[in-house]
Amino acid sequence: MVTQQLTNPMGRSQTAIKYVRDGYRAIRGKSPKYTTDLHCVRTAAAAIRPPLTLQNNSVTEVEWSLLSKLVEESRNHTGPIIEIGVLAGKTTQRMARYKSPTQKILAVDNFCWNPWGLTPDEQWGLVCHSLDYLVSTGNVEVIRIDKNEFFETYNGPAPSLVFLDAMHDYEETKKDILWAQRVGAKIIAGHDYGPDFPGVIQIVDEVGGPKQLAGSVWRLA
């Protein structure tokens, strides 16, 4: 029955009407009357998707202590900061706080993966929502594209900083690093240099190893 309410369009519109009616009640300072029986629907929805732990899958505080310094260092260079792999935009927002006002962050993601069961369009919507202020003020541009297509078509200036955090196998990380070197990025860094991602360790070591490492955030020599 709960499944029916979640998937049946008629059920959804009836549910929406109930929320609207309770919305009017709320405006008039009254408690909900029509949606009190719908809590089971919300609980069921939460049960069929992974928990929304937004703090996971981003950089930790220890890792941020290095990455924030790299962003500060990148202020000495011209060219954009390029983040490959945005997820929900948490690191994008943090980097925006430390960059110079004239630097732009290009936030590149095709929204093919997230740990919360969101569709690509939903993840894209979440990122546009959370980064709205930074986008509308010209500090960030969100680019919805496969990273390898972005690499092929990028014709901007040499980036001041590239932060690689999309796919963490050897072959894909190699493509990321070689592109960053090819376009003359002044600082090349990334995430997940650790035992869970031996391919990242392998390729980072092959190109000279980390000059700096904090947690699993690495910066190339």
Ligand X SMILES: C[S@@+](CC[C@H](N)C(=O)[O-])C[C@H]1O[C@@H](n2cnc3c(N)ncnc32)[C@H](O)[C@@H]1O
What are the residues binding ligand X (CB under 6 A)? 57-59, 83, 85-87, 90-91, 109-114, 146-147, 165-167
* Least CB distance to ligand X at residue 17 (A): 36
Nearer to ligand X, 11 or 120 (CB): 120
Distance from C-alpha of 220 to C-alpha of 187, rounded to nearest angstrom:
7
Closest CA to 123 of 137, 107, 103: 107
Nearer to ligand X, 166 or 200 (CB): 166
Q: Residues 144, 101: contact at Cβ < 8 Å? A: no
Q: Residues 108, 84: contact at Cβ < 8 Å? A: yes
* Least CB distance to ligand X at residue 189 (A): 11
Instruction: List the beta bridge partners of residue 218.
Output: 190, 213
Task: Find all residues with CB under 8 Å of 45, minimum gap 6, and list them.
Answer: 6
* Least CB distance to ligand X at residue 99 (A): 15
* Least CB distance to ligand X at residue 167 (A): 5
Q: Residues 80, 159: contact at Cβ < 8 Å? A: yes
Nearer to ligand X, 22 or 85 (CB): 85
* Least CB distance to ligand X at residue 98 (A): 14
Nearer to ligand X, 59 or 189 (CB): 59
Q: Which two tokens stand for residue 191?
A: 């995430």
Task: Find all residues with CB under 8 Å of 153, minimum gap 6, and list them.
Answer: 145
Residue with the shortest CB distance to ligand X: 85
Nearer to ligand X, 23 or 117 (CB): 117
